[in-house]
Structure 1
């Protein structure tokens, strides 16, 4: 089969880790008889520098005319002015909206050899296998923003809005995933304070009772969830929550694995199209030094193969190759322990590709 993938390397370490993920994709193609045509496009800071916008129209067109999108990272100190009218993050928010991607899936699983890499005690990490489903297109990130000045001084506001349809579709998707996993869904909100959370709770409760009565589900306030993710992470199966809460909780959950360089993500919509990216940022402090961990991006390609292309066997092959590389101790410095040598980004990517 022939597939077209749009690659958005972006900024910082993005081009380095995306290059290794593409290397692994080509290895999958050679092994299983597929052809992956890779088309690169601009996003983020590099797009601002070259075109004046974080998301050029050509990039949107390339992403709309392909089978899946692979993203590296956006941003860096060069574009960090929060008052700038054009910022790299606008490219990320814009492409999600342009592709109709409303659900961000972030799986957190721990390889036994990496238990010591986490700041948590190893005994708390045994059997951790959870999935956070974050709503992507609503909430405070997309609401009306105002900043003005009156007689009392400056003031600002960010409007948080959710519609019934937005809540229904993300809850149904998360519940469906819980049904495929261990049958337990945790719905996270702040219903003791926020009206949007009360809307979430009423809609989700109805859906769970009427459509997913076979599942176990519970509600948890976001602050309690933040605590229990560290206190008893193995108790979670699937977590679903709104945009900002999901953004914060998934970064916290990444520390269970010891490094953001280990965790992939998938942003999905109603069809097969998806955008796949590591959850880490652009890490400009190590860009160009060969220190970046490519495994999160490589694991993101496994999600790409699974969700957008329907290639489950190939996805499992990538995940098995990553496990084999970890077993062999071929890792970058962020997860190297003891006497392990810190390997380069290219060495780790090549090691995975050779094990497909």
Structure 2
């Protein structure tokens, strides 16, 4: 097999920190690849007026696989103020480069696994029927439509005549908003297409079938958002009936789902949703397995381009600490999803079981795992640094038993 080239896009804040440690782990685990850096994020917005330069797009078009760290995004007015002086008053408008990346490459399938690690002190617990404490096992995979919906960027403030005329053609707009001054209106559209919706629902059912899940849960709001959520529910019912009759289709409203996920999270396996609700429910389930320090994701297109990233933000204040304190596991898990995608499953399993052993052993814990506030002094209070957590994973990877064919990951995780 030819040597692969991976486009690494550190981005902003802690993105660079967790990505560097993850590449160290990949190398020790035996993943043989070259890495080229793609420029993306706030730095390039400020000095070039473009947070997603064409040169980065060209790299992904060439090499197809990307590892992404994190970005900083700010409101429109604040972003404009931070532009270089030579770029001021040129009509430049900031937009999220990761959203732009998804839309440019049509990375419409987003997969966000949320699986609890045994021994993680941040795992969700509840009171059982006998009054004791229960720790349900969470093993949920969220399929999020990644390019449409509320994140598509079709928005207006003070809409122009054409847009306003279209809005006034709807009787509910006339009834509720006709007397609102046009300059007081801010409008965001929620656009679903049958093609995009069908692809994400099919991806969810195919995954459920391949991995042996017994149900797929549609998490939307079809009783109120009748056109978009309603279309998704209708298509899901049709797909389930015609192609996957052996897999149950459950339908939950997003608000009720956020309540139920802390009552019976073990009941859910595969969940599928539109862009906004998929974002919400995946963060909710991430909270049950330890928070965003454990939340990974993959996003891929029909044309074979895929980008893997943790779902946390750039946390810029942490990036300025003399010693990095952030938890790199979400980035490491995202890299494991990349390995799965590249059919490097044995390496992915080795890394995951190394992470599992570090967590179960409990000797190395980052500040979030110790329930500390994210201050610079947490290292002096016993929390592990980003580098120490990566070192712990690397130490496990080098252990002899990882090369023992009789070692079974599931029995030890």
TM-score when scaled to structure 2?
Answer: 0.79
Match of 1:135 among 145, 149, 157: 145
Q: What residue number does 2:48 align with?
A: 51
1:22: how far off? 0.8
Provide the rounded CA distance (Å) in 1 between the counterparts of 2:242 and 2:289.
36
**RMSD of aligned alpha carbons:** 2.3
Provide the rounded CA distance (Å) in 2 between the counterparts of 1:67 and 1:351.
31
Q: Is the 8 A contact 2:107 2:306 kept in 1?
A: yes
Q: What residue number does 1:72 align with?
A: 69
1:285 matches 2:317: yes
Q: What residue number does 2:231 align with?
A: 199
Q: What residue number does 1:172 align with?
A: 202
Provide the rounded CA distance (Å) in 2 between the counterparts of 1:235 and 1:346.
36
Provide the rounded CA distance (Å) in 2 between the counterparts of 1:131 and 1:187.
12
Provide the rounded CA distance (Å) in 1 between the counterparts of 2:113 and 2:219.
16
Q: Is the 8 A contact 1:48 1:86 kept in 2?
A: no
The number of residue pairs the alignment matches comes to 349
Provide the rounded CA distance (Å) in 1 between the counterparts of 2:229 and 2:335.
33
Label 1:104 to 1:141 Cα distance change in 2 as closer, same or farther (>3 A). same
> Which secondary structure state, in structure 2, belongs to the residue aligned with residue 72 of structure 1?
strand
1:318 matches 2:351: yes
Q: Is the 8 A contact 1:131 1:237 kept in 2?
A: yes
Label 1:28 to 1:244 Cα distance change in 2 as closer, same or farther (>3 A). same
Match of 2:272 among 240, 253, 268: 240
> Which secondary structure state, in structure 2, belongs to the residue aligned with residue 141 of structure 1?
helix
Q: Is the 8 A contact 2:237 2:249 kept in 1?
A: no
Provide the rounded CA distance (Å) in 2 between the counterparts of 1:226 and 1:211.
29
Provide the rounded CA distance (Å) in 1 between the counterparts of 2:61 and 2:182.
47
Deviations 1:255-313 (A, max 9, x none): 10122111211112225431111111111221132111111101111000001x11111
Structure 1 unaligned runs (5+)? none
1:143: how far off? 4.9
1:295 matches 2:329: yes
Q: Which moved more, 1:174-183 or 1:140-149?
A: 140-149
Provide the rounded CA distance (Å) in 1 between the counterparts of 2:320 and 2:329.
17
Q: What residue number does 2:28 align with?
A: 27
Label 1:292 to 1:232 Cα distance change in 2 as closer, same or farther (>3 A). same
1:327: how far off? 2.8
Q: Which moved more, 1:185-194 or 1:72-81?
A: 72-81
Provide the rounded CA distance (Å) in 1 between the counterparts of 2:252 and 2:125.
22
1:246: how far off? 0.8
1:253 matches 2:285: yes
TM-score when scaled to structure 1?
Answer: 0.91
Label 1:77 to 1:96 Cα distance change in 2 as closer, same or farther (>3 A). closer
1:141-156 aligned within 5 A: 141-148=151-158, 151=181, 153-156=183-186
Label 1:227 to 1:265 Cα distance change in 2 as closer, same or farther (>3 A). same
Q: Is the 8 A contact 2:157 2:183 kept in 1?
A: no
